[in-house]
Amino acid sequence: MALKTIIDGLTQHKLNFSITYTSDERRNYSSANYCDKWNRCDNENQMDITLIAIKASGCSSFDCDYNEIVELDLSDSFLRENMEQGLSMDFNSKASISSRVSIPSSYIKGYLKVAN
């Protein structure tokens, strides 16, 4: 989490996610969904994400090293609801590959203490 903004009186936070992988094609991360404490991820309520940057390097005739940076808006109330147990999210790509990110409780608490 990197940025706090206030829109129409509501506090929003931005989670920046960077992933590096080697593949024959770009994954195109496009959405995220919340996973509960039993690691069940809600595919029904997917959240849109914003592509910030993509870089391809070290390309051969078979594959490239890709780095995708995406951003997800999270509400202040969502972070506070998940402050005690932490949270996990799946970032989903158009290539049908997902990457799970877990944010520990201590990180959320520390971030909210500094951000507010």
- pTM for the model stands at 0.79
% of the chain beyond a pLDDT of 70: 92
> Please, which pLDDT band fits residue 108 given cuts at 50, 70 and 90?
very high
Beta bridge partner(s), residue 31: 48, 92
pLDDT digits (tens, 9 = 90+) for 56-84: 999 999 999 999 999 999 988 889 999 99
- Asked if residue 102 lies in contact with residue 88, where contact means CB atoms within 8 angstroms, the answer is yes
What CATH number was assigned to the domain covering residues 3-115? 2.60.40
Q: For the chain, give every domain's residue range.
A: 3-115
- Asked if residue 13 lies in contact with residue 115, where contact means CB atoms within 8 angstroms, the answer is yes
Can you tell me which residue has the tokens 């877990």? Answer: 102
- First and final CA of the chain: distance in angstroms? 13
pLDDT digits (tens, 9 = 90+) for 20-58: 999 999 999 999 999 877 778 877 778 889 999 999 999
Given a cut of 70, whether residue 4 has pLDDT beyond it is no
